[in-house]
């Protein structure tokens, strides 16, 4: 158990150190997400913006695109100079590699969300003061599910040398239930002023757990030797 | 348009879609057989 | 043997077409008109069996994907593509007939009701399956990614169902049908099921024939290369010793 934790910490630290030194992903993705928010804001026009309830949808679009870029980048660095082959040779369980990648992705995406969310909230006039905790929990849980799927498929798709489009095509449809459930919960909470119910939250947590377990199980098959 | 007309449109389109795809597969077999030179 | 197989296949398709025409005639001449919704309710007799078969096609895709992950044999990948293609086709018909019904019943082509959204998401899920495939060059890699996607997508279906239930519903939930109406549904269910499984397996058979050739050619090339290399080595050895 301690051993697994130590391995996890080493792997995550490696990814984060890489990001801290190159500073490629977060900067690029933050600017792109703000760009998406701006374009959507311009497209929707002042009438739709007045109510502020476009914000959850706009935020999700930004998160989805930012997430895909993020997953792609963290996996792409493994593809250079046979880094992945070396990683696979290390005496580490494949499941640990999966969780390490997942945690790095989550940290990166959280860093991006911390910058992008306030920008979108201000631009779209979305009032969080009623239930900031509910917002953070809902978005956080959905992010875990989304990153679980994203990490799995970034390992599968990226290894083919195909970038951008296909990864998004694979991740978006699969994570639609999460987006749907969480936007609904947010709209209900902020427009109708109803508190987020235990059942709704339980559904969201169940989604995230299912995605996590399935991806963790399947991940081993994707990285299995001889699959190339 | 009446309900019956809507229904007829729906049935026509569905039939075309289903049997259109069947024809496409069948043509696939035909062209495969032709590329093989006869015997399918 | 081959002649008998061909006769059976022809008989299968002729029966399917005959049953389909029979069901069509039944709907428009024999089946009573539903009292509240009127003639447009006739769409239901096709809509419902096709919807059921969409799920069956997705189930075949799931099983084939699992079988591919388990055995890594190309034929299961072929079966998975064939079933996904037919699934998307059937789902398109479900959406189309549903929209025509909606236009007539509620005056709108599209409403964000749970079941409509569900069919749309299902369609998107499997349409992306088909669209992503060609973008991956290596055949084994493509089959692997597709199989993983197929498994996850099928497990995603109940989640989609749960999440759309959060939306307000106007779809007819329970439809009281007379015995004659149920008979018509059954009369459509048979040819539609025969048609969809016939389509899946003939598409699969076509893929098998095409890919068998490709694989045979690849094997032949590999054999030739190995033979050439062996011959070169042999001659080199002969010269040096």
The shortest C-alpha distance from A189 to chain C (Å) reads 13
The angle formed by the CA atoms of residues C32, C37 and C42, to the nearest 5 degrees, is 50
Residue A67 to residue A124: CA distance in whole angstroms: 21
Select from B7, B22, B32 the Cβ nearest to the Cβ of C199: B22
Domain edges within chain A = 2-223
pLDDT for position A163:
57
Nearest chain C residue to A162 by CA distance is C136
Distance from CA of residue A91 to its chain's centroid? 28
pLDDT at C87 (0 to 100)? 94
CB A184 within 8 A of CB A59: no
> What is the DSSP annotation of C6-29?
HHHHHHHHHHHHHHHHHHHHHHHH
* Confidence (pLDDT) at B40: 42
Quick check: A146 pLDDT over 90? yes
Residue-level pLDDT at A228: 42
Query: Could you write out the three-class secondary structure of chain A?
Result: CHHHHHHHHHHHHHHHHHHHHHCCHHHHHHHHHHHHHHHHHHHHHHHHHHHCCCHHHHHHHHHHHHHHHHHHHHHHHHHHHHHHHHHHHCCCCHHHHHHHHHHHHHHHHHHHHHHHHHHHHHHHCCCCCCCHHHHHHHHHHHHHHHHHHHHHHHHHHHCCCCCCHHHHHHHHHHHHHHHHHHHHHHHHHHHCCCCCCHHHHHHHHHHHHHHHHHHHHHHHHHHCCCCC
Which letter does DSSP use for residue C167 in this model?
Answer: S
For the stretch A152-208, pLDDT in tens is 888 877 555 555 567 888 888 898 888 888 888 888 777 777 777 778 888 889 889
Q: CB of C58 within 8 A of CB of C154? A: yes
Residues 161-200 of A with CB under 8 A from C: 161-162, 165-166, 169-170, 172-174, 176-178, 180-181, 184-185, 200
**Which chain A residue has its CA at the smallest distance from C140's CA?**
A228
Do B and A make contact via 3 or more CB pairs under 8 A? The reply is no
For every residue of B1-40, which 3-state class applies, written as one string? CCHHHHHHHHHHHHHHHHHHHHHHHHHHHHHHHHHHCCCC
Q: B4 and B15 in contact (C-beta within 8 Å)? A: no
Chain A residues in contact with C142 by the CB 8 A cut-off are 160
Task: Name the residue range of residue B22's domain.
Answer: 1-40
Closest residue, chain A, to C160 (C-alpha): A177
Q: How far apart are CA A178 and CA A200, in angstroms?
A: 11
CB distance A32 to A65 below 8 Å: yes
Per-residue pLDDT, C65: 93
Chain A residue closest in CA terms to C68? A221
Query: What is the spatial distance between Cα C132 and Cα C238, in angstroms, rounded to a whole number?
Result: 51
Q: What is the mean pLDDT of each run of 10 residues along chain C (241 residues)?
A: 84 90 86 76 88 93 92 90 94 92 84 84 92 82 89 89 74 69 86 91 89 78 82 70 48
Interface test with C, best of A75, A171, A173, A227 (most C CBs within 10 A): A173
Q: What is the pLDDT of residue C89?
A: 95
Question: Does the pLDDT value for residue A82 go beyond 80?
Answer: no
Would you give the DSSP letter of residue C33? Answer: P
Reported as half-sphere exposure (CB side, CA atoms, 13 A), residue A8 has a value of 13
| Cβ pair C107, C56 in contact under 8 A | no
Helix (H, G, I), strand (E, B) or coil at C190: helix
Average pLDDT in chain B: 83
| B15 or A25, higher pLDDT | B15
Taking the Cβ of residue C100 and every Cβ of chain A, the question of whether any pair is shorter than 8 Å is answered with no
Angle formed by the axes of helices A2-22 and A94-124, nearest 10°? 50
Nearest-by-CA chain C residue for A199 = C166
Instruction: Please tell me the number of Cα atoms within 13 Å of A47 on its side-chain side.
Output: 0
The answer, yes or no, to whether residue A144 has pLDDT greater than 90, is: yes
The answer to whether the CB atoms of B10 and C20 lie below 8 A apart is no
Look over chain A and give the mean of its residue pLDDT values, rounded to a whole number.
Answer: 82
Token duo for residue C197: 């499984």
- Average pLDDT (A93-114) is 89
Q: Is C38 helix (H, G, I), strand (E, B) or coil?
A: strand
Phi-psi region of C44 (alpha: psi -120 to 50; beta: other; left: phi over 0): alpha
What residues of B are in contact with residue C100 (Cβ under 8 Å)? 6-7, 9-10, 13
Whether the CB of C169 is below 8 Å from some CB of chain A: the reply is no
* Closest Cβ opposite residue C166 in set A162, A181, A214: A181
What would the pLDDT profile of B2-13 be if each residue is shown by its tens digit? 778 888 888 889
C70 to each of A81, A117, C140, C152, how far by Cα in Å? 30, 43, 14, 15
- Across-strand partners of A10? none
The answer to whether the CB atoms of A221 and C69 lie below 8 A apart is yes
Q: Do C202 and B1 touch (CB under 8 A)?
A: no
| Interface C:A, ≥3 CB–CB pairs < 8 Å | yes
Asked whether residue B39 carries a pLDDT value surpassing 60, the answer given is no
Burial (0-12, 13-18, 19+ Cβ within 10 Å), C235: exposed
Instruction: Tell me the average pLDDT across A92-112.
Output: 89
C136:A160 CB<8 A = yes
DSSP tag of C111? -
Taking the CA of residue C169 and the nearest CA in chain A, the distance in Å comes to 14
Q: Note the ipTM here.
A: 0.85
Mutation test of the interface with chain B: which of C15, C97, C106, choosing the one with the most B Cβ atoms within 10 A?
Answer: C97
Residue C178: enclosing H or E segment and its boundaries? none
Structural domain boundaries in chain C: 40-218
What phi and psi, each to the nearest 5 degrees, are found at residue C72?
60, 40
Looking at chain A, the whole-number percentage of residues with pLDDT higher than 70 is 90
């Amino acid at each position: 158990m301690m051993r697994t934790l130590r391995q996890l910490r080493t792997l995550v630290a490696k990814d984060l150190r890489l990001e801290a030194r190159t500073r490629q992903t977060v900067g690029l993705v933050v600017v792109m997400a703000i760009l998406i928010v701006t374009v959507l804001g311009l497209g929707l026009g002042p009438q739709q913006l007045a109510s502020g309830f476009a914000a959850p949808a706009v935020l999700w679009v930004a998160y989805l695109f930012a997430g895909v870029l993020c997953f792609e980048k963290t996996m792409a660095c493994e593809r250079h100079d046979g880094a992945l082959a070396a990683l696979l040779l290390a005496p580490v369980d494949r499941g640990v590699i999966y969780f390490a990648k997942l945690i790095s992705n989550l940290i990166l995406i959280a860093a991006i969300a911390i910058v992008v969310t306030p920008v979108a909230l201000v631009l779209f006039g979305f009032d969080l003061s009623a239930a900031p905790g509910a917002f953070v929990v809902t978005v956080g849980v959905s992010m875990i599910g989304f990153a679980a799927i994203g990490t799995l498929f970034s390992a599968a798709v990226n290894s083919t040398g195909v970038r951008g489009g296909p990864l998004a095509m694979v991740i978006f449809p699969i994570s639609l239930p999460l987006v749907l459930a969480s936007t609904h919960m947010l709209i209900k909470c902020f427009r109708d002023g109803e508190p987020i119910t235990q059942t709704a939250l339980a559904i969201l947590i169940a989604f995230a757990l299912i995605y996590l377990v399935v991806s963790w199980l399947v991940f081993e098959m994707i990285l299995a030797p001889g699959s190339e | 348009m009446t309900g019956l007309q809507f229904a007829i449109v729906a049935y026509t389109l569905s039939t075309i879609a289903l049997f259109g795809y069947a024809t496409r597969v069948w043509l696939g077999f035909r062209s495969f057989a032709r590329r093989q030179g006869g015997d399918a | 043997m081959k002649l008998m197989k061909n006769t059976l296949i022809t008989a299968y398709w002729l029966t399917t077409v005959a049953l389909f025409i029979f069901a069509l005639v039944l709907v428009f001449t024999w089946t009573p008109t539903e009292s509240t919704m009127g003639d447009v309710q006739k769409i239901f007799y096709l809509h419902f069996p096709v919807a059921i078969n969409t799920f069956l096609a997705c189930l075949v895709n799931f099983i084939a994907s699992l079988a591919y992950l388990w055995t890594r044999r190309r034929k299961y990948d072929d079966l998975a593509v064939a079933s996904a293609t037919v699934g998307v086709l059937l789902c398109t018909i479900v959406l189309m007939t549903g929209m025509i019904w909606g236009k007539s019943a509620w005056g709108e082509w599209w409403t964000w009701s749970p079941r409509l959204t569900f069919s749309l998401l299902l369609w998107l899920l499997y349409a992306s399956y088909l669209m992503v495939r060609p973008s991956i060059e290596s055949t084994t890699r493509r089959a692997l990614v597709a199989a993983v996607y197929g498994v996850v997508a099928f497990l995603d279906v109940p989640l989609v169902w749960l999440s759309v239930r959060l939306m307000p519903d106007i779809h007819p939930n329970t439809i009281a049908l007379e015995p004659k109406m149920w008979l018509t549904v059954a009369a459509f269910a048979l040819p539609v099921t025969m048609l969809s499984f016939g389509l899946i397996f003939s598409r699969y058979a076509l893929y098998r024939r095409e890919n068998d050739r490709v694989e045979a050619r690849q094997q032949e090339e590999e054999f030739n290369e190995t033979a050439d290399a062996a011959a070169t080595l042999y001659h080199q050895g002969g010269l040096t010793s």
